[in-house]
Chains A and B, each alone.
Chain A
């Protein structure tokens, strides 16, 4: 490998590296501002001045910017040269001219790159005697605080926001020493990745507005490596807590996954753990009680209903909690599932099985390298960071194709975006599969409107097929996998799953358990139901059935950290630690197990779900009480990876999925109703995050979205009101007409779907309200 010499130290570099990149990757610090590994060199700040030793001794040494100078074999570089130091001193002096020097009251203080560079490189005294320039700040919404006077014009914010994340409502305006980074008008930043401005800004222009409300100095925060619990990607995070409360979440670099960034749901969704209705004390029959008494009550009830027990784990419950629950149920003669929705259970198990029986899901950095993708559903809402990875692929020229039922932000970056009603997704994907087979067999399909898509996927060096499992059926998931197989060994397959541990949970119980439990509760066969981190009552499609069925129960035991509808109805309620308050393991969409540590402990005793179940096992005198040994028994070849590492694959395999579509899948049932529902999700829309007020304050208005042409045909006009009738209830909503929703579908938000008792793709009755 080629090397350069920096102040006598030999540094290896890769072809194409500049001096600064090579140095930073070797942990050699060269002061810099505008350079960022994700954004590359710009050459604007002029802080990374270094001196290059000339080849001939009679030439003078050359000052240059390390970020713009290509690394060449044998180059001798000096960071400490007097001339380079002088440039840095001047640059800092110039940047300090207008900087307000408000470090004592600045939120960035203590972790401010500008502060560090100023102390490292700058002159100790100020010589400028003129007035400072001042700006008016903007209201950028509830999540990000704007303080433009601190700006040093490194352009990192716009380069991230516009160039990297492809947002268009933040930019550089004006010129000279009045360059202003902001929006055209005040208003919340629209990008689901806007929160990264807080970290990418080298000083305090963009700061975390939620952290600001309950501020603590960076050096006073307790931190520990954590994993984001808000989707299946498993971004690495570094939460910060102080005085027994969680204050903020930042990204933690994982070189194969999120690297430097996280989405706003991951950054701001943590407010669920500080929610005013947070459960902190165990309850039995609605009365607060001690942990010990609650355990006793649960033990008595479980013993009384031996062999009539069911348990629902969760895709958002960690591997330990799910495994413990399954083990406990095995001993007391109960049935376990991790899903309250049988369709989601089937789809997730199908997806995981296909992933295990193919090359496996690509990591985010692998996704950035693909050159074509077929995207099914709204990735921005279900796995925002996969969306960001695909935006990088798009920037490099990848052709993205999208099949979606409701509007999604990713649509604007696609070569073709086709709206497909939920119940026609299977047919659409099968047709594409047929086309690809025909093309590969050399037949002419050019008169088919989808021929372009088929060709684009075939000619791609590495096509990616990706589906959002929550809006797909098991058969949809399978046909997507078959599409990948048809496209050959270079094609990659992946799914955005329904929760941080959906993959891990799907390994524990066979398909059909969810329906078996639901029916057993309905028939009274199950008398005690233990629910860990799940909310069957709020399931859009099955919530109504679960509510009705649970009236037959003797005892509903719920373990959760948020007050869900199911938790509220619990006979025995165990409040458990939030994800930042406990250690555990999540298995992400790739099958990568990642462990995390508790960041802090609250004054109240809040065990993890696994701990509660372990204690229950003790009280019940079960043989398997230890979390680690239960994990070891369930996953014999699995070593729990150390927190803060890259994680390790979970070595379990599910049997391959049989070819025949499972019968009775609710989405495929034929129905003559004109209208069907489509879930309109947004990036802040997730169970935990829905308890985060900062994020939910940005939720889109509750409306019913209908496609323009269908609406016109039925005489529905924009802004008028319609009544929607589902199995549980009816609601009246204002209509919004839109091109980006499938014909014959009514796009409605998750909350409305829950209220109506309808799932994605279910038939719905619609009438105009005069």
Chain B
């Protein structure tokens, strides 16, 4: 497939405004301004573009549900606070071609009739944020941003907000708090941010990858966009593959590409003599999938049906040389560290889980620890304030299910079965 979103990306010398316009950049602006905003939303909904930030909610529906009569000022937030372990797609978009993002934000803001847009950039992507700011200035000078863009009467101001640097800032309501200058704790979802978001005003938050599809949908139509996917998926998807594969990296492929094709064809498969133990399909906060799922189309619904989530479409691959207990412990330590500290189950539950897991991984687990993990995970997953903790325990719950024997071996043998110092040889 010819790539759509990544074809012009160049992280060393990203296209400037003129070069981007020369390859057709910013064409979608005039196409958009010719249409009524409701018409654009209709098209996006028909294209079945689903949110690429992890939740997979229909972008068009989200826009429609905000309502055309939402009171002014209305805000659009482009979420570029990519912090999910194993996920690096937004970074490619940011570093490779900031103008593509700006174009996408302009047409999306037009569709939403938002007069102010924020691009919330992960703190570590400071350089990318800097070049994004330069690109915004270029666009402003060229009249592509500001008041009455291209004579359309539509005004838009884009601000880059560089994150203070925490995973939770990627959560919609925590991000709103962060932009407002407050501590980035999540807010209650009722009233919804779509009506009571930034400074109490209607606010729409979309992942950057979701938005960069919008100009293409506008230019080529919903049917064309849907036809780009395979196995029931719609449009292109940026997949990140990392872990125990030979060529980890970013791959723009049709949404719905089977997992096996991604791992073995595009990412070069496993090292010689290794077998696949399992993989996380959508970043660290998704449930494990097993070798039996290799034929599964990487699309939202099939992955959900298999008990996991497509999430950000970031595969982390484990082969038979990786101890799944230690791998899960690594994730749990990450999540315990990144908890914002707002609600009890997340703040104190995740370190507790990490502590039990540490004991198991180092061979000091108790016989009833697995039951304790299950018991605590149930409360942490269901009773936390936001979606962070449920996501955080997802890999743990599934890891215990998928690799139960590994866990039991740790507990009963009193050491890690992969530990060469006690076993002499690495064995699964």
Cβ-defined contact, B341 with A97, below 8 A: no
A140 to B376, CA, bound (A): 37
Interface 9-residue window, one of B31-39, B346-354, B396-404: B346-354
List the B residue with the shortest CB-CB distance to A133.
B351
Q: Which of A98, A130, A172, A176 contacts B183 (CB 8 A)?
A: A172
| Residue of A47, A127, A155, A178 with most chain B CB atoms under a 10 A cut-off | A127
List B contacts of A91 (CB < 8 A): 344-345, 379, 383
Cβ-defined contact, B376 with A90, below 8 A: yes
List the B residue with the shortest CB-CB distance to A174.
B341
Cβ-defined contact, A176 with B338, below 8 A: yes
List B contacts of A174 (CB < 8 A): 341
Does residue A643 face the partner (Cβ distance < 8 Å to B)?
A: no
Cβ-defined contact, A127 with B372, below 8 A: yes
Cβ-defined contact, B336 with A176, below 8 A: yes
Cβ-defined contact, A98 with B383, below 8 A: no
Q: For residues 298 through 355 of chain B, which have their beta carbon under 8 Å from a beta carbon of chain A?
A: 336-345, 347-352, 355
List B contacts of A94 (CB < 8 A): 344-345, 347-349, 352
B376-406 interface bits toward A, Cβ cutoff 8 Å, 1 = contact, 0 = none: 1001001111000000000000000000000
Q: Which of A46, A68, A130, A176 contacts B344 (CB 8 A)?
A: A46
A42-53 interface bits toward B, Cβ cutoff 8 Å, 1 = contact, 0 = none: 011111010000
A63 to B347, CA, bound (A): 20
A396 to B158, CA, bound (A): 31
Cβ-defined contact, A95 with B339, below 8 A: no
**Count of chain A residues near B, Cβ 8 A:** 30
Cβ-defined contact, A44 with B183, below 8 A: no
List A contacts of B359 (CB < 8 A): 129
Does residue A175 face the partner (Cβ distance < 8 Å to B)?
A: yes
Cβ-defined contact, B339 with A177, below 8 A: yes
A443 to B27, CA, bound (A): 58
A98-138 interface bits toward B, Cβ cutoff 8 Å, 1 = contact, 0 = none: 10000000000000000000000000000111100000000
A743 to B108, CA, bound (A): 55
A71-87 interface bits toward B, Cβ cutoff 8 Å, 1 = contact, 0 = none: 00000000000000011
List A contacts of B350 (CB < 8 A): 176
Quote the shortest CB–CB distance from A202 to chain B (angstroms): 13
Given contacts A68-B188, A129-B359, A175-B166, contact A44 B342 (CB under 8 A): yes
Does residue A179 face the partner (Cβ distance < 8 Å to B)?
A: yes
Cβ-defined contact, A153 with B345, below 8 A: no
Q: Which of B347, B352, B383 contacts A179 (CB 8 A)?
A: B347
List A contacts of B190 (CB < 8 A): 68
List A contacts of B383 (CB < 8 A): 46, 49, 63, 87, 90-91
Cβ-defined contact, A87 with B351, below 8 A: no
Given contacts A43-B188, A87-B379, contact A95 B348 (CB under 8 A): yes
List A contacts of B342 (CB < 8 A): 44, 155
List the B residue with the shortest CB-CB distance to A130.
B355
Q: For residues 162 through 194 of chain A, which have their beta carbon under 8 Å from a beta carbon of chain B?
A: 172, 174-179
Cβ-defined contact, B339 with A86, below 8 A: no
A29-54 interface bits toward B, Cβ cutoff 8 Å, 1 = contact, 0 = none: 00000000000000111110100000
Cβ-defined contact, A175 with B341, below 8 A: yes
Given contacts A87-B379, A176-B337, contact A153 B347 (CB under 8 A): yes
Q: Which of A46, A86, A179 contacts B345 (CB 8 A)?
A: A46
Quote the shortest CB–CB distance from A43 to chain B (angstroms): 6
List the A residue with the shortest CB-CB distance to B359.
A129
Cβ-defined contact, A46 with B384, below 8 A: yes
A94 to B347, CA, bound (A): 9
Given contacts A91-B345, A94-B345, A176-B339, contact A43 B351 (CB under 8 A): no
List A contacts of B343 (CB < 8 A): 43-46
Given contacts A46-B383, A46-B385, A128-B355, contact A97 B348 (CB under 8 A): yes
List the B residue with the shortest CB-CB distance to A176.
B339
Q: For residues 273 through 327 of chain A, which have their beta carbon under 8 Å from a beta carbon of chain B?
A: none
Cβ-defined contact, B382 with A153, below 8 A: no
List the A residue with the shortest CB-CB distance to B339.
A176
Q: Which of B351, B352, B379 contacts A176 (CB 8 A)?
A: B351
A86 to B338, CA, bound (A): 26
A49 to B337, CA, bound (A): 26
A47 to B347, CA, bound (A): 14
Quote the shortest CB–CB distance from B308 to chain A (angstroms): 23
List the A residue with the shortest CB-CB distance to B368.
A127
Q: Which of A45, A49, A179 contacts B341 (CB 8 A)?
A: A179
B260-280 interface bits toward A, Cβ cutoff 8 Å, 1 = contact, 0 = none: 000000000000000000000
List B contacts of A176 (CB < 8 A): 336-341, 347, 350-351
List A contacts of B339 (CB < 8 A): 175-177
List B contacts of A177 (CB < 8 A): 336, 339, 341, 347-348, 351
Cβ-defined contact, B355 with A90, below 8 A: no
Quote the shortest CB–CB distance from B416 to chain A (angstroms): 19
List B contacts of A86 (CB < 8 A): 379
Given contacts A63-B382, A172-B183, contact A44 B355 (CB under 8 A): no
A97 to B355, CA, bound (A): 11
A68 to B384, CA, bound (A): 13
A128 to B354, CA, bound (A): 11
List B contacts of A98 (CB < 8 A): 348
Cβ-defined contact, B345 with A175, below 8 A: no
A9 to B114, CA, bound (A): 49
Quote the shortest CB–CB distance from A205 to chain B (angstroms): 15
Quote the shortest CB–CB distance from B105 to chain A (angstroms): 29
A386 to B238, CA, bound (A): 59
A94 to B352, CA, bound (A): 8
List the B residue with the shortest CB-CB distance to A180.
B341
Quote the shortest CB–CB distance from A416 to chain B (angstroms): 24
Quote the shortest CB–CB distance from B219 to chain A (angstroms): 43
List A contacts of B341 (CB < 8 A): 153, 172, 174-179
List the A residue with the shortest CB-CB distance to B355.
A130
A97 to B345, CA, bound (A): 12
List A contacts of B188 (CB < 8 A): 43, 68
A45 to B343, CA, bound (A): 5
A44 to B190, CA, bound (A): 15
A90 to B166, CA, bound (A): 27
| Residue of B188, B351, B382 with most chain A CB atoms under a 10 A cut-off | B351
| Residue of B190, B340, B376, B383 with most chain A CB atoms under a 10 A cut-off | B383
List B contacts of A172 (CB < 8 A): 183, 341
| Residue of B190, B336, B337, B352 with most chain A CB atoms under a 10 A cut-off | B352
A47 to B352, CA, bound (A): 18
Cβ-defined contact, B385 with A44, below 8 A: yes
| Residue of B183, B337, B338 with most chain A CB atoms under a 10 A cut-off | B183
List B contacts of A87 (CB < 8 A): 379, 383
List the A residue with the shortest CB-CB distance to B349.
A94
With A90-B376, A178-B341 given, can you name 12 additional A-B contacts, CB distance below 8 Å? Answer: A47-B344, A68-B190, A86-B379, A90-B345, A91-B344, A98-B348, A128-B352, A130-B355, A153-B347, A155-B342, A175-B338, A176-B338
Supply 30 A–B pairs (Cβ within 8 Å), ascending by A.
Answer: A43-B188, A43-B385, A46-B345, A68-B188, A86-B379, A90-B345, A91-B379, A91-B383, A94-B349, A94-B352, A95-B348, A97-B351, A97-B352, A98-B348, A127-B372, A128-B352, A128-B355, A130-B351, A153-B347, A155-B342, A172-B183, A175-B166, A175-B339, A176-B336, A176-B337, A176-B338, A176-B340, A176-B350, A177-B347, A177-B351
- Give the interface of B toward A (CB within 8 A): 166, 168, 183, 188, 190, 336-345, 347-352, 355, 358-359, 372, 376, 379, 382-385
Instruction: In the A-B complex, list the 7 residue pairs whose CB atoms are closest, starting with the nearest.
Output: A94-B348, A130-B355, A179-B341, A90-B379, A176-B339, A175-B341, A44-B343
